[in-house]
Amino acid sequence: MIHRREAKLLLRAIKEGRISFFKPLVSFSGGVHYPEVQEITGADPHESAELLESLEREGILASEEAENLIVCPVCGSHQFFIQIRCRTCGSMKISKAPMLEHLKCGMIETEDVFRQGDRLVCPKCRKPLTAIGVDYRKHGYFYHCSSCGRFDPSPEKRYICQNGHSSGDSDLQLKRVPGYRLSPGGLAILEKELIDLGRVAQRLQSLGFYAEAPARIRGKSGVVHEFDLVVWRSKDSAVPSAAVSIYASDRPLDSMIVLATMAKSIDVASGATLIAAIPSLDQPARNLAEGYGMQVVEAGSASDLIEEIRTRLEGMLQKPEVVRSTPPETY
């Protein structure tokens, strides 16, 4: 579950329509940035990318290829300088020059060979070259190896990354740089993540209970479990009076949710377990929850769910319960 402050800020921006697509920005010095994420959350570039990835794993965001980046196959660096080498002898004694062709005699050489002062003169037939396209044409730039004399329009390139690893064209890796937008089923999950049970906790505390929203409790197994809201009869009680878990999806939730919720509730010895669902549990899951004695709350929206949770808890907590003397161990 997502409880990080930065994630909540990002989800609220999506919910309010302030951002619909997180587009990456690629720079030489900083690599991949997500400017909107940094602006909304204050996170650094690395944290911003991790945050978007975590929201994708939660099913809230979906990624799509937006940019790409050439990286070193050894260390993943995107920072390179390029060395030019002769394909024939491997020498790096290479110069770059434009190639000219004299149309009348067919002479092809580098421009410096034709150059005589401020004029171009054919070294073969000694005639001047006056008009491009009429008596000569350019063949683009060629690379000349002074070691073996080879002319080559495309010499070998070696890419040296900032960590000193040398790679050829065929060695380099093409890294996908994703952009992110709300997934097809993300809206329901987003609704759940933005549910704030803080007011419900305050209301219960005004009635004399102790409540945390969200809460992390270490169970008898030693595992720390997360709940959206936990209520104790008092702050000195170790056994929770009630534990609430909220789930959301774009379709009815199945029995696996019920089993997972029951397992963690048993581990923390909760007096009552309330499972809240947006939009609902499917019928087998509902039957299983009722069979375990769990309270089930279903609603189509976050506001309706919060109100139903508050009403149900206030009714449940009127019943007396046995409490232990050891205080709850929360995290």
Question: Is 302's pLDDT higher than 90?
Answer: no
Structure tokens at 172: 């380099």
Dump the DSSP string for 189-247.
Answer: HHHHHT---HHHHHHHHHTT-EEESSEEEE-TTS-EEEESEEEESSTT-SS-SEEEEEE
The mean of the pLDDT values for the chain is 88
**Tokens read off for 151:** 């002319």
Residue ranges of the domains in the chain? Answer: 5-75+171-185, 87-154, 195-316
The single-letter code of the amino acid at 314 is E
Question: Could you tell me the maximum CA-CA distance found in the chain, to the nearest angstrom?
Answer: 112
Across 311-322, average pLDDT:
73
Instruction: Give the model's pLDDT for residue 203.
Output: 87
| Angstrom distance (rounded) from CA 125 to CA 123 | 6
pLDDT at 193 over 90: no
- Length of the chain measured in residues: 331
Q: What is the pLDDT of residues 153-190, one digit of tens each?
A: 889 999 999 999 999 999 999 999 999 999 987 877 77
Query: What's residue 4's pLDDT?
Result: 67
Question: Rounded distance, CA 88 to CA 155, Å?
Answer: 9
Tokens of 169: 């064209």
pLDDT interval class at 328 (50, 70, 90): very low
Model confidence at 1, in pLDDT bands (50, 70, 90)?
very low
What CATH number does domain 195-316 carry, 3.10.129.10, 3.40.1350.10, 2.40.30.10, 3.30.470.20?
3.40.1350.10
pTM above 0.75, yes or no: no
- Looking at 88-102, 257-271, 287-301, 312-326, which range is the least confident one? 312-326
pLDDT of residue 319: 61
What is the C-alpha to C-alpha distance for residues 69 and 178, in angstroms, rounded to an integer? Answer: 11
What is the distance between the alpha carbons of residues 107 and 125, in angstroms, rounded to a whole number?
9
Position 285 scores a pLDDT of 95
Q: What is the pLDDT of residue 11?
A: 86
Judge whether 5-75+171-185 and 195-316 match in fold: no
CATH class for the region spanning 5-75+171-185: mainly alpha
For 86-134, strand residue ranges (E) read 94-102, 108-110, 115-116, 119-121, 128-129
